[in-house]
A and B are shown apart, each in its own frame.
Chain A
C-alpha cells in the first residue's frame, strides 16, 4: 500500500512538472514579472490573460483546438525577457507571445520575436519604441505621447503652471512619458521648474525631494512605477512637500495605495480603464474576474485579458496559426469590443483608444474623466 502511494505520488509529481502538452492545442507564450519589484504588474496581467484563455477554452477553444498558455516569470529583471522569448519560440514553439507591462522589458523580447517572425502583443507597454521594433510587434494600449499630452493639458486646466518632473532613469517608459509631458506642457505655456531623476529600486528620495522643494513647484509630474511612486509620495509628505503628484498608467499596482498610506490623496494619473464604466463587457469581466481571483481587476488585468482576446480573434479570422496570415489578421483588427474600450490597431501597430483620468480620494481611486484621442 505504501509503495502504491509513493508511486502514485511520483506520477502526480511527474504530471505537475511535465511541460504543457501542446501537440493537440495551440501553444501561446506569455512572459510577465510575476515576482520582483513589479510583481503587481505581472500578476495582474497574467490573471487577466489566464482568465481570457480559460473562457476561450470553455467555449470550445479556437479553430476547434484548446489554447495552451505557457507562462514564464522574468522576475522584473533586465536580461530575463530575452532569454524567455528565445525559450518560448525555440523550445515551446509558441504561435504568438503575449507580454510585458514594463516597456523596457517588452523592448528586450521584441527584437527576438521580430527576428523569428512570431507576433508579439504587449498588453500595456506604452513607450512608442516598442512597436517600432518591427511589423510583428503590436500593443493593445495607447502610447506615451498621447498620455503625456493628456496629462499636460489636464495640469494646465487645474492651474498648475510650474511643474517639477521626477523621472525613473532606468525605465524607458518613465523617460518617454516625461519627455512627452514636458514637450506638451511647455508648448502650451507651462514651465518645468526642476528636473530630477532616480533609479528603480531606490528607497531614499530625500536628495531629489530636497532639490524639488527648493524650486517651489505647483505640482510634481512623477511618471514612474507604483513601487517607487508610493514611497516617493510618502517621503515627500513627511518632508513638508504638500503639492499634488501627477503620473501615468505606471501608477496602477495593487500596493500603490497601501504603501502610500494616504500620501497620494489629491493626486492625479492617467490610465486605461475604469471600473465605473457601465458597459456590459466591462461589468461582465469584473464579475468573472472577482469570482476567479477574489479581487478587483486593475488596468493591467484588463489589458492582459484584451491582449489574449485579440490574439484569439485574429487566429479565428486568419483560420490558421501560421505566422504570416496571423500577423496580418492582428494588424487588421478593427473596432474590437475589448474591456478597455473599442480597439483598432493602427498602421503603426498601436491601439487607438481613449485615456481615463483618475484621482485618489481617501485612499481610493476615483474616476474623473475620459479623454478621447
Chain B
C-alpha cells in the first residue's frame, strides 16, 4: 500500500509537467486549429533560460547555505521562473510572427509541417548554441525529503511542483474566463471570422495565446529541472509528444481537459513502470492515444463537433 501511494505521488508530479506542457498545445489548437509541434522545444528553451539566468539572479538573491528555507532562495527561484517564462513568451510570439503568421491563409497541413521544421531547427540550434552535452541544472531550490509522512518519501520540490502547477492552472482559468483578452480568445476559438467581424484584433489575440502557452512551457521546464536536474537540447522531444497525447486524451482545445489528461498520463506511466515493466513507459502513452482516438476521439472532456455540411 505504501509503495502504491508512493507511486501515485511520483505519478502526479510527472503528470503535472505533462499538464503544463499540454496546456500550450491545447490553447494554440483551440484558437488556430493546428498542433504547434515546436512546443516541446520551447519547454527546453525555458529550462536553458533558467540555467543561464541562475548564476546572474544568484548574485542578487543568493541561495541559502545548507539548503533550508530562506526568503532569498525563494525570491531567487521565483525571479528565475518569471524571467524564463517571459523569455519563452517572447520566443513563442516571435515563432508565431516569423513562421506561422505568413502561412496563416495556407492549408493547415503546410503549417503543421512547418511546425515540425521549427521543432527540428530549435533542437539543432540548441545543440549548436548550448552544446549537445547534458548540463547540470543549478540548485536554485535545494531539494530535500519532507519528514513525518510515515514511510512515504515526498520531497519539497515535488510539493512545490504540484502547488505551482495548481496556481498556474487557476491563473490561466482566470485569464481565459474573466478577462477581456480571454473572452476574445474564446470568441476566436468559437468562430474566427465572426470574431474579427466583431472588431477583435485576431493577430493580437493569437500572439497572446502563443505567449501564454510558451510561458507555461517555460514554467514546466524550470519546475521539471528543479526535480530532475539534467537538461539537454533534446529534452523536449519526448515530453512534448507525451503532452500532446495528454491534450488529446483530455479533449484537445479544452483547458481543464489538458490538465486532467496530463495527470492521468503521468500516473498511468508511473504505475506501468512500477508494476509491469519500464519497457512500456513510452508505449503506454501512444497506446492511450490510439485507444482514445478509437473510442472517444473528442477526448474525455471534449465535446463532439459535428462537421457542418
Contacts and interface: CB of A to CB of B under 8 A. Distances in A.
Interface residues of A, number: 35
Interface string A185-201: 00000000000111101
Contact of B133 (A198, A206, A211, A255): A255
B10 A37 contact: no
B6 A210 contact: yes
Nearest to B11: A207
A358 interface: no
Interface stretch (A6-14, A233-241, A334-342): A233-241
Contacts of B7: 207, 210
A89 interface: no
A213 B234 CA distance: 30
Given A207-B274, A214-B3, A202 B230 contact: no
B234 A240 contact: no
Interface in A195-237: 196-199, 201-204, 206-208, 210-211, 213-214, 227, 230-231, 234-235
Contacts of A39: 131-133
B155 interface: yes
A333 to B, nearest CB: 33
A261 interface: yes
Contacts, number: 94
Contacts of A234: 229-230
Interface in A19-73: 34-37, 39-40
A272 B133 CA distance: 22
A197 B277 contact: yes
Contacts of B135: 255, 258-259
A37 B134 contact: yes
A261 B133 contact: no
A259 B143 contact: no
A239 B308 CA distance: 54
B232 A37 contact: yes
A138 B238 CA distance: 35
A45 to B, nearest CB: 14
Given A210-B7, A210-B274, A211-B274, A204 B228 contact: yes
A214 B144 CA distance: 19
Interface string A90-105: 0000000000000000
Given A199-B279, A259-B134, A230 B230 contact: yes
Interface in B1-58: 3, 6-7, 10, 14
B278 A259 contact: no
Nearest to B279: A169
Contact of B234 (A37, A198, A202, A239): A37
Contacts of A202: 278, 281
Contact of B136 (A34, A203, A258): A258
Contacts of B10: 204, 206-207, 210
Interface string A139-157: 0000000000000000000
B274 A198 contact: no
Contact of B278 (A37, A208, A239, A258): A208
A199 B232 CA distance: 17
A20 to B, nearest CB: 22
Contacts of B90: none
Contacts of A238: 143-145, 155
Contacts of A36: 132, 234
B67 to A, nearest CB: 11
Given A207-B10, A255-B135, A261-B136, A197 B270 contact: no
Interface string A234-261: 1100111000000000000011001101
Interface string B216-238: 00000000100011101011001
A201 B155 CA distance: 23
B132 A35 contact: yes
B110 interface: no
Interface in A278-295: none
B132 A34 contact: yes
Contacts of A40: 133
A210 B133 contact: no
B124 to A, nearest CB: 9
A255 B136 contact: yes
Nearest to B270: A207
Contacts of A231: 228-230
B229 A261 contact: yes
A21 B302 CA distance: 60
Contacts of B14: 204
A254 B229 CA distance: 16
Contacts of A207: 7, 10, 270, 273-274, 278
A231 B7 CA distance: 18
B127 interface: yes
B232 A197 contact: no
A207 B8 CA distance: 9
A13 B230 CA distance: 37
A254 B131 CA distance: 13
Contacts of B224: 203
A203 B235 CA distance: 9
Interface string B128-164: 0001111110010001110000000101000000000
A199 B277 contact: no
Given A208-B273, A238-B155, A259 B228 contact: no
3 smallest CB-CB distances across A and B, nearest first, come from: A35-B132, A39-B132, A207-B274
Given A197-B279, A235-B228, A259-B230, 9 more contacts: A35-B127, A197-B277, A198-B273, A207-B7, A207-B10, A213-B153, A230-B230, A239-B155, A240-B145
Interface of A: 34-37, 39-40, 169, 196-199, 201-204, 206-208, 210-211, 213-214, 227, 230-231, 234-235, 238-240, 254-255, 258-259, 261
11 contacts: A36-B132, A36-B234, A37-B232, A37-B234, A204-B228, A204-B270, A208-B273, A211-B3, A227-B230, A230-B230, A255-B135
Interface of B: 3, 6-7, 10, 14, 127, 131-136, 139, 143-145, 153, 155, 224, 228-230, 232, 234-235, 238, 270, 273-274, 277-279, 281-282
